[in-house]
Structure 1
Amino acid sequence: MNECYYDKQIDFFYNRSNNDIVDEWTGTKLVIVLGVGTFFCLFIFFSNSLVIAAVIKNRKFHFPFYYLLANLAAADFFAGIAYVYLMFNTGPATKTLTINRWFLRQGLLDTSLTASLTNLLVIAVERHMSVTSMRIHSNLTKKRVTLLILFVWVIAIFMGAVPTLGWNCLCDISSCSSLAPVYSRSYLIFWTVSNLVTFFIMVVVYLRIYMYVKRKTSVLSPHMSGSISRRRTPMKLMKTVMAVLGAFIVCWTPGLVVLLLDGLNCTQCNVQHVKRWFLLLALLNSAMNPIIYSYKDEDMYSTMKRMIFCFLQERNPEGQPSRIPSMVLSQSDTGSRYMEDNGNRGPACNKSSS
């Protein structure tokens, strides 16, 4: 009968796996990693909060696609929380962790990845529904969108808790991995392969949708009534999603490949010395998404710019005018005019607006 090691500290497993990476997270290297990580985490909290607030505030965004986009921003915000917890429990502090605290540290990271990945998959379903029905937005009700969002987080939390629920090597120490010395190598293989396969499926789905939208738009465009910007909206939304998916795959694939090699027990791959940098690359993804939203979506950029301006205006000393300069409310700035477009005229910055 195999012996179980529930009462051991985490350093027992690190020492047994010959993982000396903990000792290298000291001095200048640790300061650099923590400094860069802190900067990105602060930016993640600010920018993704801005995206969520923009979706709530701008009535143009009250559609299933943007609700799911806000949920993706919430997943990125959660990733920032996971990285903050990691920063306070890494380096020399790793050796002092109990098994449960280490599971929590890794579970938060796994949950954030699964939440982002599942949310992208749900967005693919929503985009497919809207494209096949020849609509800019799908006809999903708010109740169904809410259920989809709950489904995303249930799946994410479950996947993050799987090792804690029993798929670990605490009672089969010979199967422990090197990078995650309490995880079973079989679990690492399952987790990384399932994520990589999901990447591939989503790329195929999004490419098919993209080609379908492009073909239909080119065929129907001469016969469609309405403004040019409205006819281009489906393609603009697809380009936003494709950019987000591309950034996600670029930032997460290297780390997943490294974990897969570790799961396959590749002793010659030298995976330990690149783990920290691939982790920072994954962190970068949560900071990139809000930039992609604002760059690819003019309405999102305009709304975020307006919110920042209003926030700064409220913090300004007395005597400043309450109206936004005309250059901010220019005719080209369509997103900043959403209140007028919806018949809700009012001051440029209104504390009671929602």
Structure 2
Amino acid sequence: MMDANNLKSDQQYCYLLENTSCLRRTRSRETYVILYICSSISLILTIFGNLLVVISVSHFRQLHTPSNFLVLSLAAADFLIGIFLMPPKIIQIIEDCWYFGDNFCYFHALLGFLLTTVSVSNLVFIAIDRYVAVCDPLLYGTKITIPLIQIGISSSWILSVLYAWAILFFKGHYLTRDDGFVCLGECVGFYTKVWGIVDLIVTFIFPCTVIICLYSKVFMVVRRHLKKINTVNQQIKTKEADQNKIPKKSERKAAKTLGIVIFVFLLFCVPFYLCAIMNAYTDVVVPDAIFNIFLWLAYFNSGMNPIIYALFYPWFQKSIKLIVTLKICSPESSIMNVCSVDH
């Protein structure tokens, strides 16, 4: 009897006036404060960090390069994740309830499919871009052009919209409220068996395989080129002959920086996908607390990219200063030099 009373004291209805609504677990006031402060910091970082990336690449003409346009597209997707996906998910995880209605639950799921697919496809394009830049530097300028990148980015967004629409239209992903027996205050989705496998391949197995294979090749080539550079430095006479065959320092640095972006993506998102696979296709049930932690890490990955850019890209550091000081409001600011030229 004592245990039952304790259980009741630790739980209450999501909607106090609706005794048919879901039960929510209550926490101490201190716990709520800590959770909301940490979540707010990560949310602010995601929204404003990616907004700075979008403004920087869009405004400064010097940053209008194929690689940076891919970074712009990725930042735009991460910005939308911070605006539309993270706030309601934060509240749902902390409060154990969904307070935004069934319609927004569907919209949230649709937008989740869309932005996840866009982000993953952008990372694949980034891996391809760095592969060509490092492994075939002489032809990079002719193979990877801004019009080609713009077509690729547009295709990524359009196909992602169609893919997200197809999943919901063909009932490949259904919400728990669909059956009419789930309590009010819940928004949880499940895949059908076929679409679960399709989505796993499209958004996880195939892109991760491509990314890992391409970047493995990139790092092997960079390592070989670094050895060649050391040899060239020792043999000054052959320096000019070999210099054109070696990617610029800026290309190697970009490969390293974007490689870190991809590595962080895999580090933060793979655990969530593995948990989802175990829940769907095995008898192992991942506890909700662990699943929510990995889900939050997957969302927080969107806020990590601006930190990486700030640490490794001098042009982003300078762009932030110009934006914060409002110097970008001057008519000539778009043609300002925000990055040094590598020799």
Shift of 1:170: 7.5
Partner amino acid, structure 2, of 1:260: I
Distance 1:248 1:170 in 2: 27
Distance change >3 Å, CA 68–CA 119, structure 1 → 2: same
**Distance apart, 1:299 and its partner CA:** 2.6
Query: Which deviates the most, 212-221 or 241-250?
Result: 212-221
Structure 2 residue matching 1:23: 3-state secondary structure: strand
Task: After superposition, give the CA deviation of every residue in 1:238-297 in whole Å (9 maximum; x if it has no partner).
Answer: 10111000100111111111111111142x433323122112211221111011112122
Equivalence for 2:326: 311
Corresponding position of 1:110? 113
User: CA separation of 1:25/1:208 partners in 2, compared to 1, >3 Å: closer, same or farther?
Assistant: farther
- Distance in 1 between residues matched to 2:122 and 2:328, nearest whole Å: 35
Relative distance call for 1:185 and 1:302 in structure 2 (3 A) is same
TM-score normalised per structure 2: 0.72
Change in 2 beyond 3 A, CA 1:148/1:194: closer
Rounded to whole Å, the distance in 1 between the matches of 2:50 and 2:130 is 22
Select which of 203, 223, 236 maps to 2:253. Answer: 236
Corresponding position of 1:290: 306
> How far does the alpha carbon of each residue in 1:74-101 deviate from its partner, in whole angstroms, 9 at most, with x for none?
1110111221243466646527732x43
Which aligned pairs between 1:24-39 and structure 2 lie closer than 5 A? 24=25, 28=29, 32-39=34-41
Q: Does 1:249 align with 2:249?
A: no
Structure 2: tracts of 5 or more residues without a match: 1-13, 15-21, 180-185, 233-237, 330-335
Q: Deviations over 1:39-67 (max 9, x none)?
A: 22222111111112222333432210111
Task: Specify whether residues 93 and 273 from structure 1 end up closer, same or farther in structure 2 by C-alpha distance, changes over 3 A only.
Answer: closer
Name the structure 2 match of 1:346.
Answer: none
For residue 242 of structure 1, what is the amino acid of its counterpart?
G
Partner SS state of residue 285, structure 2 = coil
Which of residues 160, 182, 196 in structure 2 aligns to 1:188? 196
Task: Find the aligned partners of 1:213 and 1:136 in 2 and give their Cα distance.
Answer: 17
Percentage identity across paired residues of the two chains: 20
CA distance in 2, matches of 1:65, 1:313: 22
Q: Secondary structure at the match of 1:94?
A: coil
CA gap 1:270/1:142 in 2 versus in 1, 3 angstroms: closer
CA distance in 2, matches of 1:263, 1:119: 27
- 1:53/1:30 Cα in 2 relative to 1: closer, same or farther (>3 Å)? same
Residue number among 126, 131, 139 corresponding to 2:129 in the alignment = 126
Report the alpha carbon displacement of residue 131 of structure 1 after superposing the two structures with TM.
3.0
**Are residue 72 (structure 1) and residue 71 (structure 2) matched?**
no
CA distance in 2, matches of 1:25, 1:153: 40
Q: Is the 8 A contact 2:62 2:337 kept in 1?
A: no
- TM-score, with length taken from structure 1: 0.70
Runs of 5+ in structure 1 lacking a partner?
1-10, 12-19, 315-335, 342-354
**Residue 151 of structure 1 aligns with which residue?**
155
